[in-house]
Structure 1
Amino acid sequence: MTDIQKTLHLAGKAVEMCLNGRPSLALRRFNAHRARLSPWDVARIDPQLRRVHRDAEFQGSRKPGVVTRILRLKPPFFEQEIARSPQTAWLFVHSHNGRYRQSAVQSMIIGDEDTAAQTALLQRCNDWVPQVREAAFDRLRTRAPQLSQTALASLVVFAVARVGIWQRGGAEALNILRECPLWLSALEEALAKQTNGPLVHVLKRQIVESALDHALNRLARSARSPFVRSAATECVLNEQVRWKSGYAKQWVNKPLGISRRVPIFKERVLDIDPANCAAVVRSGARDASAMVRKKIADKFIRDGGKEFSDEVKLLSKDSAASVRSRMEFFHRKYPSNMKKDKVND
């Protein structure tokens, strides 16, 4: 049983025990598993948790011992009980009842390392009930400036890739997080240290602006993800960033009315120090990932690689066939380099 399945199972037990007036043990077990979930897992199980809440309340209402408890704790009585217990609030922030969610958002304790609770708060900023959204935005405006760099780093990838495209309140929630003083340093830390998630997508969305230009050299040389190193290396070597801004209509056969969509790209020139570019070439030629080494070979094909004879020799004997084939083309394009290498040998 996975962590998500275990969390859903424990959530059903916890809701039933809360309605029956004995929540402590079930809530502790649920919160222990909930705290281990990533932001992506919390977003994935949120609709499933609403169904768990609905089914548990329905099944509980059919049990004679629970009927009086449920009838007595209908709103606003049960909302007051949620407000008195932060552990109950962590559970009912995913409830199918909007009043329960609003009360949970207002009363739950959001720790600095509690990524699951922070993600749940972001989700409630996109809630379909206006009162829940307002309560979530009030908590987020208060809580966001207090987040540490580590806490923000665990949220930035999810926030940029997922929260920013939510239709109800995602853009406003993302803007609140971006106003945090540690947002930029947390974003750099996430791109440099994390290996899972749509990191390249996040990087390409952020380099539209110049805020991350100073970090591209560091990401190209020392990011843990080979995909991030490859994308940052391409930006540094080309001395420009390029992103897709939309689509245009291109006619294939205008008399017959046949057309196709083609992407539109925009570019922005970077001011790269030649010393930094040379350092990226030398480190990229020795990178563990063939994706990065291919970018270095492509640069040699474009520019000749006269200043990097050691790197040219190294890539010519590369273990990856895709890199060797590029270097074979490089030697055919610049035969003088091959003659010099033979003389030196």
Structure 2
Amino acid sequence: MQKYRGTKDDIVSAIKDFTLSIDSSNDYRGDISSLIQITSNLKLVNLDYWERLIRSELVASLLSATRSEWKLSFKPNAESTWLGIVNGDGHKREKSLLALSGGAPNAFFFALVVRRLNDWVPQVRKAAIEILPSLFRSTKPEYVAEVLCVLLLNWHSWGRVEEADNQKFLDMIATEEMALLLKSHLIASTSGPMPSLLSQIGRTDILDNYLNEIASEAIQPYVRAKAYRSLFESRMTWVKGQGWQWIDKVYGKGKLIPIIAERKINVQPPFLELLNEAAADRSPIVRQVSAEFLIRNIENLGIQSRIFAEKFAADKSSNVAEQGKFVLRKLDEKALDNSISN
């Protein structure tokens, strides 16, 4: 809490420094280097709060400056800077976006631009999708990857994004350089909702060729399990949004349920090879996935079904062992039926 308060005070101070720096020597745009330095170390969470703070403090600071006797010639041009993209006036946010040039100074400011895709003003959303391609090319890839790893998690809740703009944005990130950065993040992350991130990135095909590597090397078992499942099913699934499901129309009872979308993938490793790799995984979460797909394909594997079933039945995880025993029972029942019929 103390650190949070300290960051807030630092941002307020940086905005005041910015206001004091505005004069004719910089076309009344001011110097935001202090704010860039502070926000470069800011985690990309609570962005709504930080936007509101910057907006309110900027208004207060500019108002105070125009009232001071030594600022009689004050001509703030803040809407033409990076700070303008959080202005309370939609026209000024639009103008600021279209005036941006060069890359984003850090991940925080790049995130503010991407968030404008869900702005409540249509013209601002249009300006954001217009400026983003050049911004992608000019911004450091590590900044872009950092933002994607945060914002894509809640992408399905952005209800104002047009479907066409949604696809344009996904097309922008579909580069080999971005794929490598995102793959590395998914593999190396020890915490966080990485399985959900993998699902959302799965809207594009940029990680399809790396799913095997993610399945075998990711630190989080749920990420490995998600990658293996996608390979087994030859498809990626993700939450596209929410829909209403009635429970009792008479009493007006219902609930929101996730809407699942999917995309076929063309990466198809040999089934037995994939089954063997998942069965040997160090986590029972992944071994359960392997056992599940053994059950689904029990009729197609011949003698291999019993070999895998015996392996699973002896697993130290009770859930995996139960799946293995289930397969053995099915195989024994089938063998008995065959003997009777013969």
Whether the 8 Å contact between 2:104 and 2:139 is mirrored in structure 1 is no
Equivalent of 2:228, from 224, 230, 233? Answer: 233
Match of 2:103 among 110, 115, 120: 110
Query: In structure 2, what is the equivalent of residue 221 of structure 1?
Result: 216
Post-superposition shift, 1:294?
Answer: 0.9
* 2:58 alignment partner, one of 43, 53, 74: 53
Q: CA deviation at 1:118?
A: 1.3
> How far is the alpha carbon of 1:119 from its aligned partner?
1.0
Q: Which runs of 5+ in 1 are unaligned?
A: 84-88, 338-345
Tell whether 2:285 aligns with 1:291: yes
Structure 1 residue 140: Cα displacement? 1.8
Paired positions, count: 318
After TM superposition, the structure 1 = structure 2 runs for residues 306-325 of structure 1, keeping only pairs within 5 Å, are 306-307=303-304, 312=309, 314-325=311-322
The yes-or-no answer on 1:67 pairing with 2:68 is yes
Tell me, yes or no, if the aligned pair for 2:119 and 2:125 is still in contact at 8 Å: yes
1:153 and 2:145 aligned: yes
Deviation at 1:121, TM superposition (A): 1.6
Greater displacement, 145-154 / 240-249: 240-249
Alignment partner, residue 279 of structure 1: 273
> Which letter maps to 1:293?
R
Give the corresponding residue for 1:144. Answer: 136
* Partners of 2:138 and 2:329 in 1: CA distance: 59
Partner SS for 2:41: coil
Unaligned runs of 5+ in 2: 24-30, 335-342
* CA positional deviation for 1:37: 3.0
Q: Please list, as runs of the form range in 1=range in 2, the aligned pairs for 1:12-51 lying within 5 A after superposition.
A: 12-21=12-21, 28-42=33-47, 45-51=50-56
Q: CA deviation digits over 1:115-153, x for unaligned, max 9?
A: 222112212344445665565444323222445654543
Query: Residues 102 and 132 of structure 1 are in contact (CA less than 8 Å); yes or no, is this contact kept in structure 2?
Result: yes
State the distance in 2 between where 1:68 and 1:130 align: 40
User: 1:288 is paired with a residue of what secondary structure?
Assistant: coil
In 1, Cα distance between equivalents of 2:310 and 2:318:
15
Among all aligned residue pairs of Structure 1 and Structure 2, give the percentage whose two residues are the same amino acid. Answer: 18
Residues 125 and 268 of structure 1: is their aligned pair in 2 closer, same or farther, counting only changes over 3 Å?
closer
CA distance 1:226–1:260, change in 2 (3 Å): same
Q: Return the offset for 1:35.
A: 1.0
- Alpha-carbon displacement from aligned partner over 1:265-284 (angstroms, at most 9, x marks no partner): 77777666462x22322221
**Counterpart in 2 of 1:341?**
none
Secondary structure at 1:49 match in 2: helix
Cα deviation digits, residues 283-321 of structure 1 (max 9, x gap): 212223322111112223333474277755554443433
Contact kept? 2:94, 2:123, Cα under 8 Å: yes
User: Residues 72, 186 of structure 1: CA spacing in aligned structure 2 closer, same or farther, 3 A cutoff?
Assistant: same
- In the alignment, the residues of structure 1 paired with residue 279 and residue 248 of structure 2 have an alpha-carbon distance, to the nearest angstrom, of 42
**Structure 2 residue aligned with 1:340:** none
Structure 2 residue corresponding to 1:177, chosen from 166, 169, 175: 169
Partners of 2:269 and 2:133 lie apart in 1 by: 42
